Amino acid sequence: MAATIHDVARAANVSIATVSRVLTGNYPVAEATRARVLDAVRTLDYSANPNARRLRGADLSPIAVLLGSLTGPSFAALAQGVESEARARGRICLIGATGGDADRELELVELMRRQQAAAIVLPGGMWRDREHHDRMAQHAEALARAGMRLVFCGNRVLKRDVGDTIAIRYDNEGGAERIAARVGAAGHRSVLIMPGLTAGDTASQRLRGFQRALDAAGASVYAVRETVFDRDPAREMMLAVLDESSRDGGRLPFTAVVCGTDQMAIGVLEALRERGIRCPEDVSVTGFDDVPAARDLNPALTTVRIPYEEMGVLAVRRALDGAPDAPSTLPVDVIERSSLAAPR
């Protein structure tokens, strides 16, 4: 015979009410207890009747995550965290891609509201404009009235308190300061900075962190060159910088390039190879994110690890449980590899 909720409660040594709370996710339950209940559910192959759950008003609403891109490694890591935590709670995860289009993002938020998603997770670092911000604030208010949660992961937040909106950040500026300090400590005294587009908070914070650390180390900023957080634009920008320096006498006027993302660093490394410039013998390069490919590059990339997957897990926990003791800002780590060395 199929296992019942009574069997699960008996196997986990908890009450039927506790099993119900774990399965519906509508009430905080101690992590050890939740794990015990879910283990019993798996062992007994228990499956609640979804029609009965709807009649009780305890349907397991999905968790939604809206990504700028389905192929971006950082987005993929965050989505993995959201999906794994949703799965652990017996919920499905709905994934949408905005393509960086603000209007599409707003459309998807409204669509997920109609799907009655318990939480909508939004990564990202900037608003397109004030209208984008204000329309999202209206969506947040509508979600709060319906008992749903909007969770921002990254540096983008609403400028005013709206409903039960949650913000989860990472130490963006601190991470930038720490990796640039390593560049300065390695002996580099002239550094090219490629932070991204500083119209957004993410890149502007990284630029401040880079500059502060280099100034403290007694290093000078050769130049700041802005482009989007992507490989090909960074490669083209780096080639233009190299062409400028060749016209000015041929000798490179900088010994390190500090990049706002790993994807940008990959483009920079490609440009250096095209010009016959070695890394790190001639120029050191650093990134930001620690995407899976960073360790497989030649040379392996020195970078800042952002806990994207942990952010996704925390987003679901904060949305469903409140998790009052959970941190709202996650630490980052500098990962040292062979792309950073002392200048010759």
Q: Which residues contact 84 (CB under 8 A, 6 or more apart)?
A: 309, 312, 313
The pLDDT mean for the chain works out to 87
Q: Report the DSSP beta bridge partners of residue 284.
A: 256
Q: What is the pLDDT of residues 88-131, one digit of tens each?
A: 888 899 999 988 888 999 999 999 988 889 999 998 767 778 88
Q: For residue 79, is pLDDT > 80?
A: yes
Q: Which pLDDT score, from 0 to 100, does residue 249 have?
A: 63
SS3 99: coil
Q: Are strands 333-335 and 303-305 parallel, antiparallel or unpaired?
A: antiparallel
**Tell me: the pLDDT tens digits for 267-296?**
999 999 999 999 999 999 999 999 989 999
Tens-place pLDDT, residues 93-104? 999 998 888 899
pLDDT of residue 6: 84
Tokens 């440009």 found at: 271
Of 329, 258, 257, which is closest to residue 288 (Cα–Cα)?
A: 258
Q: pLDDT tens-digit profile of 176-204?
A: 999 999 999 999 999 999 999 988 788 99
Interval 211-223 mean pLDDT? 96
310: confidence class by pLDDT, cuts 50, 70, 90: very high
User: What domains can be seen in the chain, in order of their start residue?
Assistant: 5-55 (1.10.260.40), 63-170+309-330 (3.40.50.2300), 172-306 (3.40.50.2300)
DSSP secondary structure string for all residues of 45-70: T----HHHHHHTT-----EEEEES-S
CB atoms within 10 A of CB 299: 17
pLDDT of res. 29:
82
Instruction: Report pLDDT for 54.
Output: 43
d(CA 55, CA 65): 27
Closest CA to 289 of 208, 176, 126, 156: 176
Greatest Cα pair distance in the chain = 83
Q: What is the pLDDT of residue 82?
A: 94
pTM over 0.85: no
Q: For residue range 22-36, what is the model confidence (pLDDT) as tens digits? A: 877 656 788 899 899
Residue 332 has pLDDT above 90, yes or no: yes
CA terminus-to-terminus distance, the chain: 74
Query: Which carries the bigger pLDDT value, residue 144 or residue 247?
Result: 144
Is there a contact between 270 and 263 (Cβ–Cβ < 8 Å)?
Answer: no
What phi and psi values does residue 276 have, to the nearest 5 degrees? Answer: 70, 25
Cα dist from 333 to 180, 208, 257, whole Å: 13, 18, 19
Q: What's the CA gap between 57 and 68, in Å, rounded?
A: 33
